[in-house]
Amino acid sequence: MNRGVLYAIGAYLIWGFLPIYWKTLKQVPPLEILNNRVVWSLVFLGILITARKNWLPLRQAITRPRVVLVYGMAACLLAVNWLTYIWGVNAGFIVETSLGYFINPLVNVLLGVLFLREKLRPLQWLPIGMAAAGVLYLTFSVGNLPWIALVLAFTFGFYGLVKKTAPLGSQHSLTLETGILFIPSLAYLAFISLQGSGGYAQYDAKTNLLLVFTGVVTAVPLLLFGTAARSIPLSALGLLQYIAPTCQFLIGVLIYDEPFTKYSLIGFSIIWTALALYWLEGFLAHRQARRLPAGPIP
């Protein structure tokens, strides 16, 4: 098997099993987990970049105000996404968080149309409409808008959109984003520690170690993904990306016994069908384009 495929599978499996990691930290408030994740991610990434002696791209980036502004917006979107996900997992909504990452590819397509003026083939509108219908069905059948899924899908979608013009690779971009959030996060952790409402003195050694390793579980899959993205086709990544939400969904239903009613099954099935149609249409269009004869060289 292609090494890039193995790296991608590794990244998506880590992301897919993250709910179990966050569940082991359920005694820690989500906002405290988030700020630990920011601080320790920056520490871990800083060690890696120092070991590779590769600080130059970051030094160049921080001298450009427009680049810093772009990454500042990306950092805010990432913080909202992380906090929503951690809260959703520990509040018992793992299934709904998985829905957010199932619909995210279709949200990306929609944002591309709205903000980048990308053109869709006629058949591509069908799965987008079906996904919207699935969300509406879940809203009216269950009686609640799946807001966790929508927040995750749209914050991650806008995160990708903002970074379309960003110059840094995945490792340096996450370093800059966590660097922008570092001072507020460190200040928050210091504040709750002084107030006695949180901090490392409140928890046992195992919990503190898990908080420190939030930086590792954040950075490692990103590095694996970055390596995979450079060595395998995007079409392969597009299919493999569903490993993560599928694992999350199964963990929520099979391990944590989250409710999954017949109405949930119908709504999810509509969305799963929409995704299958979207990728099938893309596969057929790509194959047809490869079969067309090349035009004359001018």
- What pLDDT does 287 receive? 75
- What pLDDT does 49 receive? 95
CB atoms within 10 A of CB 169: 14
∠ Cα 14 97 46 (to 5°): 45
78-101 mean pLDDT: 96
Give the gyration radius of the chain's Cα atoms: 20
129-152 mean pLDDT: 91
Locate 1 and state its tokens: 């098997």
∠ Cα 152 158 162 (to 5°): 145
14-35 mean pLDDT: 97
Residue 122 has pLDDT above 50, yes or no: yes
Per-chain mean pLDDT for the chain: 90
Tell me the pLDDT band of 108, cut-offs 50, 70 and 90. Answer: confident
- What pLDDT does 160 receive? 87
- What pLDDT does 295 receive? 39
121-127 mean pLDDT: 85
Tell me the pLDDT band of 296, cut-offs 50, 70 and 90. Answer: very low
- What pLDDT does 178 receive? 96
Residue 172 has pLDDT above 60, yes or no: yes
Tell me the pLDDT band of 75, cut-offs 50, 70 and 90. Answer: very high
Q: Give whole-number Cα distances, 137 to 101, 145, 271, in Å.
A: 18, 10, 10
Residue 121 has pLDDT above 50, yes or no: yes
Tell me the pLDDT band of 234, cut-offs 50, 70 and 90. Answer: low
CB atoms within 10 A of CB 257: 9
Domain boundaries, given as residue ranges, for the chain: 3-284
228-254 mean pLDDT: 84
51-75 mean pLDDT: 94
Residue 119 has pLDDT above 90, yes or no: no
Q: How far apart are CA 9 and CA 244, in angstroms?
A: 9
